[in-house]
Copies of this chain bind each other. A is one copy, B any other.
């Protein structure tokens, strides 16, 4: 906590100083099923993952129009990243988010697709109660 909170732009210390900031991601071997399930058990995060899956590509955080503040949005994306569900990378001022499909499919075959299907069925069920 006593470390200088920020470095001025020109005051980069001895570090690779790649243009992008680095974000910690769990290795595949570190991804825990319980953490994945916990990450997806939040409605906001499940919604994010569904949109990412629907798009199929990377989406910036600002693409999502969630009914929470930006602080909370940052929090949810971090939970998804730290659980191994998404990969985040900076591109300019934007932070792009993509599903870790290959890693998840390798660890838990069929899980992501089954979960997405389940979420889709529930959305349809909730959206269409009874016979319209």
Contact = CB atoms under 8 A, between A and B. Distances in A.
Interface of A: 27-29, 32-35, 37-38, 40-43, 46, 107-111, 114-115, 117-119, 121-122, 125, 131-132
Contact of A40 (B37, B122, B131): B37
Nearest to A118: B108
**Chain A interface mostly helix, strand, loop or mixed?**
helix
A121 B115 CA distance: 17
Nearest to A110: B114
Contacts of A118: 33, 107-109, 111
Contact of A132 (B28, B34, B40, B115): B28
Contacts of A38: 37-38, 41
Contacts of A41: 34-35, 37-38, 41
A108 B42 CA distance: 17
In the A-B complex, list the 10 residue pairs whose CB atoms are closest, starting with the nearest.
A38-B41, A108-B118, A37-B41, A114-B114, A29-B132, A37-B37, A33-B122, A110-B114, A111-B118, A34-B41
A27 B132 contact: yes
Contact of A46 (B33, B109, B115, B117): B33
A107 B132 contact: no
B117 A109 contact: yes
